[in-house]
Structure 1
Amino acid sequence: MLAIPILSFVASFLLWPAVLIKLYHWYWRRRLGLQVDYAECDGFHFCYMHRGKPGSRPSMLMLHGFSAHKDMWLGVLKFVESMQLNKKPFHLVGTSMGGNVAGVYAARYPKDLSSLTLICPAGLKYPEDSTFVKRLRDIEKTKDVHSIPLIPTTPEEMEEMLKLCSFVRFKIPQQVLDVSGASVLADALPGCQVDLLDNCGHSVVMERPRKAAQLIMDFIIRQQNSGSSSTKKLS
């Protein structure tokens, strides 16, 4: 009796993997009570997920990473204004490139925020280059764009890269951004809180979602309980 459902699942996975991924995301959105909406502002088209409505407590805006450009923070500002998030201070969380965007936004509009959390943020001047960055610098010097690491250019390279997925999780991500960036923020912002996770790569939110959520919420709760609304907090 189980053979048909199992075969159907395997066939769907092999023939229509994108459909299964969409169903997976749809399920968890419904399970978590999230809704997908769209917003238009000055020619910008935003797609975002949200839950609940603004209340007495600050809202939280979470920015994902990569697939961005240097002026992305302008779009974030438009989004914040169109959603009226800046009517009162809100919590801003950014990871990777989203951390870069969040950091620039916080520097430009500090009064909009009640706290800032940066997770493996890009855009810092790291004391030490990671292996990934060193490779990119070497490629920049040689102008050999076909050997950019982690970016396959042919089906054969993609096939070889997929073979690594069983063990690449903690090896490659750790080399994307060097951990020395944490000391840069700690020195520049003495009042900030720094947390380092062992055996975790660059995609902290995906690799350690519960721990990441716990650290973020503990930080926000401590900040709210401090009762000092005039002091900006960063983790």
Structure 2
Amino acid sequence: MEVISTIVQLVGGAVLTTLALAVSLYYTKPAYIIYFFQRLNTWRAGCTIKYVKVGEQQFAYLERGRRSKNQPSLLLIHGFGDIKESFCEMIMHLPKNLHLISIDLPGHGDTSIKAKANLSIEAIAANLHQFVGVIGLDRGPLHVLGHSMGSGLAGCYAALYPGEVSLLTMTGPTGIKPAVKSLVFEKIDQGNKYLLVPETVEQAEEMFNICLYNKSLIPPKQLLKGYVDYYMRPHVSFFKELFDAILEQEDVLTPLLGKITAPTQVIWGRHEQVLHISCVDVIKKEMTAPLQVDIIEDCGHTVPLETPQKAASLILNFRDKFAKKQNKS
């Protein structure tokens, strides 16, 4: 009994020490808490972090499952200023036997970028094309899914490399100039150009308030500080340069929509304030490929985070509908 008592005391002491450390980090180094939960979500999603050399550049990505001849692999492309782990919540609602890859785009997360890199959509798509070839995603059917900037890139990729894309899903893609300006672009016109590159807690709070319809998902101020310290400050200069390039290519996807041949799914949050929902009308007008449009109620810009289960359900419905048709043909 004395041995058991000693073990219990040791375990209890370890738990208290861990809790004390967690509390200390929360207030002194909140970026560590952000990093911890990022790794925890990767584990919960059943993904493995991998690295691959593409020319002189190292890419980081998450992978789960194995390639299959019966269903397309899924390539996930995150949005501006985000990372590969941003899809983890949604991945948890996808079948475990579905082969998927979530990439860190150049200059994001753990993927490097060359100094003075070409930030045109064609150059980034070519870079992505190299990555796809190196890891062998071009050896079988491929479903490309992007969010926001990653969604605009996914659409451009499908147009520029139509033979490699079997299915395409775009959630709130950039690169389309709608008839109605969104709240973000109104603020940009008013002089708040780098609204999506927050450098302070207050700026991060404003950004999340615009991006999220569900305000309960906005992190507390201490975690917002961790977010700014971990995600933003190390990359501020690059993110501003990239955002300038995005603004210069504001309508880059529109003329390419007619070149997309893969069955395409477009997902939009009803309460989107970053990219106006009227972009859907442009897509419907310009696209000739089979098109499925899904509007999610009570959702803002960050579809994979706000409604991960609903988004996963819609994606699987789209895959079942069009992948089966392709298999029959």
TM surpasses 0.5: yes
Q: Quick one: structure 1 residues 227 and 163, their matched pair in 2 at CA, closer, same or farther if it must change by over 3 Å? A: closer
Partner of 2:261: none
How many angstroms apart in 1 are the aligned matches of 2:72 and 2:286? 26
1:196-215 pair list within 5 angstroms: 196-215=295-314
Structure scoring higher RCO (CA < 8 A, sep ≥ 6) equals: 2
How many angstroms apart in 1 are the aligned matches of 2:173 and 2:77? 11
How many angstroms apart in 2 are the aligned matches of 1:72 and 1:163? 30
- After superposition, the CA RMSD in angstroms is 2.7
1:38-187 pair list within 5 angstroms: 38-56=51-69, 57-67=71-81, 69-70=119-120, 71-139=123-191, 148-152=194-198, 158-161=200-203, 169-170=212-213, 174-187=272-285
Aligned residues: 220
1:58 partner letter:
P
Higher mean C-alpha displacement, 21-30 vs 218-227: 21-30
How many angstroms apart in 2 are the aligned matches of 1:152 and 1:117? 28
1:123 partner letter:
G
CA shift, 1:125, in A, is 1.9
Q: Quick one: structure 1 residues 111 and 199, their matched pair in 2 at CA, closer, same or farther if it must change by over 3 Å? A: same
Higher mean C-alpha displacement, 183-192 vs 92-101: 183-192
How many angstroms apart in 1 are the aligned matches of 2:158 and 2:299? 26
1:116-147 deviations in Å (ceiling 9; x for gaps): 000000011212111211222343xxxxx7x7
1:23-58 deviations in Å (ceiling 9; x for gaps): 222222223221111111122221000012212222
Sequence identity of aligned pairs in percent? 29
2:163 partner letter:
K
How many angstroms apart in 2 are the aligned matches of 1:216 and 1:134? 31
Q: Quick one: structure 1 residues 31 and 152, their matched pair in 2 at CA, closer, same or farther if it must change by over 3 Å? A: closer
Gaps of 5+ in 2: 1-11, 82-105, 107-118, 216-270
1:42 partner letter:
G
Higher mean C-alpha displacement, 62-71 vs 208-217: 62-71
TM score, norm. by length of structure 1: 0.82
Partner of 1:30: 43
